[in-house]
Amino acid sequence: MEKLTGLKKIKTAVFISGTGSNLKNIIKFSKIIKSPISIDLIISNTNKAKGLRFADQFNIKKKIFNFKDFKNIEKKILILLKKDKIKFICLAGYMKILSKNFIKKFDGKIINIHPSLLPKYRGLNTHSRAINNKDKFAGCTVHYVTAKLDSGRKILQKRIKITAKDDPTSLAKKVLKQEHKLYPAAIMKIFN
């Protein structure tokens, strides 16, 4: 695949904590010729993350880091990233906050998807907060990761209408469907 383009894809790690639907979607995207990235490593903070099965399914290296000893764990992750020549990181439902030091080591090279129209609703429970506030729109945002939570520069954002029938679950489902379009589009935007 890479031979056809004559270009080397950027070695990328995806960090997850849960279902991994964005991970699966990014892996599929990475396999198309025009994708600027290849997924070479999957990192999870828990062995309970369902998304880890995609590592086996797509034959990608996976590593689980249990975050009880936070500082040393990040050091170990950095060593692994260096060893595997990872140059770019996609956070996809990764529910740990990375330290300032870690982010500095990958400055401008870590992106995240967040299920809200940032800067609205940083943090958790974005959909119930949007519904409780009677917002007309929810959405998702792909942004650069900085030391301040969910505050880095926006890359792409998608607005989704909230209807009277929506509850947090139905809204999360609608937003997730759009996340799967937005994340690859944001990656393309960065590297083109």
Closest-CB residue for ligand GAR?
Answer: 93
74 belongs to the binding site for ligand GAR (CB under 6 A)? no
Nearer to ligand GAR, 1 or 64 (CB): 64
> Of residues 13, 15, 22, 40, which one binds ligand GAR by CB under 6 A?
22
> Of residues 113, 130, 162, 171, which one binds ligand GAR by CB under 6 A?
113
20 belongs to the binding site for ligand GAR (CB under 6 A)? yes
Q: Return the range that interacts with ligand GAR (CB under 6 A); candidates 11-19, 63-71, 78-86, 156-164.
A: 11-19
> Of residues 93, 139, 152, 184, which one binds ligand GAR by CB under 6 A?
93
What is the Rg, in whole angstroms, of the alpha carbon atoms belonging to the chain? 17
Residues 118-177 touching ligand GAR, rule: CB under 6 A, are: 176
Chain residues that interact with ligand GAR, rule: CB under 6 A: 16, 18-22, 51, 92-93, 113-115, 176, 179
Catalytic residue numbers, as ranges: 114
